[in-house]
Amino acid sequence: NAGVTQTPKFQVLKTGQSMTLQCAQDMNHEYMSWYRQDPGMGLRLIHYSVGAGITDQGEVPNGYNVSRSTTEDFPLRLLSAAPSQTSVYFCASSYSMGSGAPYEQYFGPGTRLTVT
Amino acid sequence: SQQGEEDPQALSIQEGENATMNCSYKTSINNLQWYRQNSGRGLVHLILIRSNEREKHSGRLRVTLDTSKKSSSLLITASRAADTASYFCATDDHVGKPLVFGKGTRLSVIA
């Protein structure tokens, strides 16, 4: 199994440009999430999905869109990039979520995004 | 908003010493987990403790949970240079929502 994969690994955008960060998992996990990590801020949840066709907002959703057309893929779209979106983005998946039953999240290697 | 707060923010120890990191959280939880992040990499799950457990061991890792104080600690015994990483606690407190992570403790183990 490849686990959780993310592309690209690095990206530089100019302010106002749009792009899509790709995330895929081959573990048949229903639940997928996007986090951003900034120095001193830990991980903050952007959007998440509990299954194909179902998405919801996290703590910092503004400026980002997601969709979940298949179980495997969960792309994150930046609509109009801003310098405040410079960050490292992590995608994660799990077989369960917040039902009380224990679960662990599997993380991708991250995408390092710089917006100039 | 973030649930867990790790303490200290940074810790530097010699190889062979024990490292202790603490996590405090605000609301009731179902489970608490610890993750490790090596520089430039994604997070890796280390250990999970349920809300009805008080202590758990995994190799050189020991986790305790005190739900009355809303706190957890992670002890790494006989640390190695390879343990150098950031360590995050994460809580599962909301039905149907992903884990909430703290800001992490940066551990440096000096050989």
What is the per-residue pLDDT for A99? 65
**Highest mean pLDDT pick, A68-77, B4-13, B39-48, B85-94:** A68-77
Phi, psi of B15 (to 5 degrees): -55, 135
In which band, very low, low, confident or very high, does the pLDDT at A104 lie, cut at 50, 70 and 90? confident
Query: For residue B36, which of B53, B66, B59, B69 has the smallest C-alpha distance?
Result: B59
What residues contact B66, with CB distance under 8 A and at least 6 apart? B54, B72
pLDDT at B48 over 60: yes
Instruction: Note the Cα A3 to chain centre separation in Å.
Output: 15
Instruction: Note the Cα B95 to chain centre separation in Å.
Output: 22
In which band, very low, low, confident or very high, does the pLDDT at A98 lie, cut at 50, 70 and 90? low
Report the greatest alpha carbon distance in chain B: 43
pLDDT at B44 over 80: yes
Classify residue B59 as exposed, middle or buried by CB count within 10 Å of its CB (0-12, 13-18, 19+): exposed
CB contact under 8 A, B98 and A92: yes
pLDDT in tens, A34-70: 999 998 778 999 999 989 999 999 999 999 999 999 9
Mutation for B interface: A23, A32, A68, A105, most B CBs within 10 A: A105
CB contact under 8 A, A105 and B88: no
CB contact under 8 A, B41 and A109: yes
Mean pLDDT for A97-102 is 64
Chain A nearest CA to B22, separation (Å): 15
pLDDT at B13 over 70: yes
Mean pLDDT for chain A overall: 93
3-state helix, strand, coil in chain A (%, to 5): 5, 50, 45
Greater confidence (B18 vs A100) lies with B18
